[in-house]
Structure 1
């Protein structure tokens, strides 16, 4: 069958007057993330109770801990944790999402729309997490912390991944916890250090951003806002100027070239048992000094919130 010579012109005209392809959706404008660490708190809707007391803790640019207590049904909160990500103005957790406007978090339903309960769908900035120090023991009434400096014992509610198990292996130990004050309780959200020996209440990491140490070869690193100081067995100490760590590829990272000393430090969140002592910490540490690589464990000091800031 022969095609008409005018057919290409007809087809071209039809295409010219046809519907245009839809324009791609405009990318979401990226809202700056909250300053970290951060806590957002509020009461969210509940189908069969007055509400869910909620605290959402952002520990670092990757990790969160969510504490939820169903009012008039539960005394202690339920905890969940995972990785969070901010996409435009949508902040996603493992099983839910919020709309972040730079100040508050608006709870979204499964379809990505705001939960239609005015006054019960927003989390606002809450009391910041703190470092708690003391001796922790398991009693018939639960976990009790005897704080450094004395005072009444405090009930600890464990929202970490490792504290309860560590106490079974290291009973009556000194602990350093990232925790939320909650009335007469402390809600533990991150274990920094638990130790049956070594520095305790008599040697708190006051003024330090972090500490790290390792074995075979033995080494120790102290970090404050003036310098990083590395000591190795049988070698002269070395130091480099302080600079904020940067968060890259799931870890806090630092590098300095100070003439004769090139020092790199990587602190990765994760449970880190000491290989030679009854001690465990909340970070794995990798140190490289002038080509020599060292591995060990790390934990945060009282100035921990400045690790990646001024």
Structure 2
């Protein structure tokens, strides 16, 4: 998995020119989709996906025009294993040397990580959001939200969720004398420190202070 970044980049570049021309979207792109997490690597001029805790490798086909190939190539310029959180379906592959084809329909996030496959909190979360300068991290699930910031006591409180037009939503709470709002929108977001790409942008407001960042759905939410 820890191939030289330049080799991964070189292996992916030939895919870009033809991937859209060869694309054949299924009549019902939502049918049979499964959310999966795993590691990305490149071999024989193709991008491969290895699901967490498995030894199988699947050739990646960007059936949903998610941009996964381009995102992986951009991150390949940095060292480290590539982790992907995607939704799609598996099919037989026309190319030898792999265990089938992964038809990606949705990209939740792609980033450098060595431990996301073993994250014990992922399945319990509905949303995770984070930002930089200042640093902040918010985890929301069925038991409430937890806001973590350096130099500030951790805030664990219940919250209300409001669905908004165009796939946007808001998490809010007024507890312990503080007003916290998290505004989330379905928009590609790039972490300014790590280059990680996720499918949601986020804006956190704490007692009138506004902080921006990125977000993604946890394992208990796939809409």
Q: If the length of structure 1 is used for normalisation, what is the TM-score?
A: 0.55
> 8 Å contact 1:283–1:299 — kept in the other structure?
yes
From 190, 198, 220, give the equivalent of 1:273: 190
From 19, 24, 30, give the equivalent of 1:78: 24
> 8 Å contact 2:108–2:216 — kept in the other structure?
yes
Name the larger-Rg structure. Answer: 1
> Structure 2, unaligned stretches of length 5 or more?
1-21, 93-99
1:81-230 correspondence to structure 2 within 5 Å: 126-127=31-32, 129-140=33-44, 142-158=46-62, 159-171=64-76, 172-183=81-92, 184-197=100-113, 199-203=115-119, 205-230=122-147
Report the CA distance shift for 1:249/1:259 in structure 2 as closer, same or farther (over 3 A). farther
Aligned residue pairs total 189
Cα drift, residue 282 of structure 1: 1.2
* SS of residue in 2 equivalent to 1:236: strand
Report the CA distance shift for 1:126/1:177 in structure 2 as closer, same or farther (over 3 A). closer
Question: How many Å separate the matches in 1 of 2:52 and 2:28?
Answer: 32
> Structure 1, unaligned stretches of length 5 or more?
1-75, 81-121
Q: Deviations over 1:207-248 (max 9, x none)?
A: 111211110000101111110111111111113314444133
- CA root-mean-square deviation: 2.6
Report the CA distance shift for 1:235/1:279 in structure 2 as closer, same or farther (over 3 A). same
Bigger proportion of residues as helix: 2
Report the CA distance shift for 1:126/1:169 in structure 2 as closer, same or farther (over 3 A). closer
